Chain A
Amino acid sequence: MTPAITTTGLTKRYGKVAALTDCTITVPEGRISALIGPNGAGKTTLLRLEAGLSRPTAGQVIVNGGTPRQDPAFLADIGYLAQDIPLYRRLSAEDHIQAGAHLNPRWDSESVRERLASLKIPLDRAVGKLSGGQRAQVALALILAKRPRLLLLDEPVAALDPLARRNFLALLADGVAVGGLTVVMSSHLVADLERVCDHIVMLSASRVQVCGDIDDVLAEHQVLVGPNKDTTAIERDHYVVQATRTPRQTRLLVRLNGPVIDPAFQASDVGLEELVLAYLGEEASAAPGPSGIPAQLTTVGDEGK
């Protein structure tokens, strides 16, 4: 199966500032992929490159089997929703539905009308007069009506209350269950993503830290807790993402490169939220994301977590 997205060494610079550096990822088809990273890490840049709204400075991006290009068939297969929810403020939801019907080959007007009716959002009011949450719902309904193969969503649920968030994520998951849909979703809220996403891309300081199916990523990491002793062997053999040393114990969050053969350390599983915080909580050091190469230890204060 062709992956939905493949990037190779993808780089985007604005003048001297590197928004994305040497990014190589794969998002298989049918995944709901979480794009996670602090502000300014390059999430929006990556999504825009995937949507074809901007062009790479270097490297390659392949989406739905081709380079993003100005072609109606390609555009019809992609749905992109920008963070600021761009809609025509003076036009109503119904206007947007009709615009979509005129501009897209596949368009499900009824789905939008039904969904907005069930959310009690008026179809005939100017979109600019709706609340932020209502506007987000309109935008999301419109993007689903397009029936694309790939959804690229930039913080789509930020404006929604928890119930609406859950509702929308269920809708996305349903679309994937039906088949023929891949979703890439950027967000800050890890807890939400953990239930609905099965793939993760972590960005920090314009570089990729982690990319893969969540189950695989979690299986590759472990928390090792043990006494304060020399850990050079562990550091040499595995990639230590985060190390916490208190006077009484050492706690290492490690990406495994084989089994850990140190009986002094007790191993346990890592949760996704903890893993994300470990990778992204601190500025990434000079070395890029793990590729089996051990990086330098970073000691994090005296707070044992």
Chain B
Amino acid sequence: MTISFRVDSRSAVPPYLQIVQQVRQALRMGVLEVSDQLPTVREVVSATAINPNTVLKAYRDLEREGLIEARAGHGTFVLRLPPGPPPGTHTRLGRSLARWVREARDAGLDDESMEALLRVTLQAADEEEIA
């Protein structure tokens, strides 16, 4: 299996959306590549104990978006990557972010402070772009 899903019941994000987001994320990170096969509904269900219709709904939305394609009798396959920088970029940036997180933790920041810092930085960046 190329990708393993994790569905968090306590998240405010509904399960099917979590699946969709995780597929998109996997595509951006290069975990999933074009013409890779996605896990079957049964595989997802058995790993996450969510309703099969939830998986079907997620895959349907992704198919409508054009990212994946269901081939009858063969399975569901990745059609193309979502628009944006190539997968390598995400991996590279992810690694430098991990370094920053380590540094922040060593400095004594907790997760909430780090998230707040990220939000403030994003806002500032937005304002900079508008300006």
Q: Do chains A and B touch in the complex (CB under 8 A)?
A: yes
Q: With a CB–CB cut-off of 8 A, which chain B residues contact A191?
A: 9-10
Smallest Cβ distance from B8 to chain A, in angstroms?
A: 9
The B-contacting residues of A in range 157-190, CB under 8 angstroms, are 166-167, 169-171, 173-174, 176-178
A170 and B49 in contact (CB under 8 A), knowing A177-B42, A195-B7, A195-B9? Answer: yes
Q: Is B20 an interface residue (CB 8 A)?
A: no
Residues 189 to 206 of chain A near chain B (Cβ within 8 Å): 191, 194-198
Contact present for B42 and A174 (CB under 8 Å)? yes
Q: Which of B51-59, B70-78, B79-87, B90-98 contacts A (4 or more CB under 8 A)?
A: B51-59
B45 interface contact, C-beta 8 A: yes
Residues of chain B within 8 A (CB-CB) of A198 are 51, 53-54
Asked if residues A177 and B49 are in contact (CB atoms below 8 Å), the reply is no
Within the complex, what minimum Cβ distance (angstroms) separates A63 from chain B? 22
- Known A-B contacts A176-B51, A196-B51; the reply to A170 vs B46 at CB < 8 A is yes
- The A contact surface, by secondary structure, is helix
A173 close to B51 (CB less than 8 A): yes
State which size class the interface on A falls in. 10 to 19
Please tell me which one of the listed residues A178, A195, A271 contacts residue B42 in the complex, with CB atoms under 8 A apart.
A178
Residues of chain B lying within 8 A (CB to CB) of residue A178: 42
Query: Could you say which of A166, A170, A271 has the most chain B C-beta atoms within 10 Å of its C-beta?
Result: A170
Beta-carbon contact of B46 and A174 below 8 Å: yes
A interface list, Cβ under 8 A from B = 32, 166-167, 169-171, 173-174, 176-178, 191, 194-198, 271
User: What are 21 A-B pairs with beta-carbon distances under 8 A?
Assistant: A32-B51, A170-B47, A170-B49, A171-B46, A173-B45, A173-B46, A173-B49, A173-B50, A174-B46, A177-B55, A191-B9, A194-B9, A195-B7, A195-B9, A195-B15, A195-B49, A195-B50, A195-B54, A196-B50, A198-B51, A198-B54
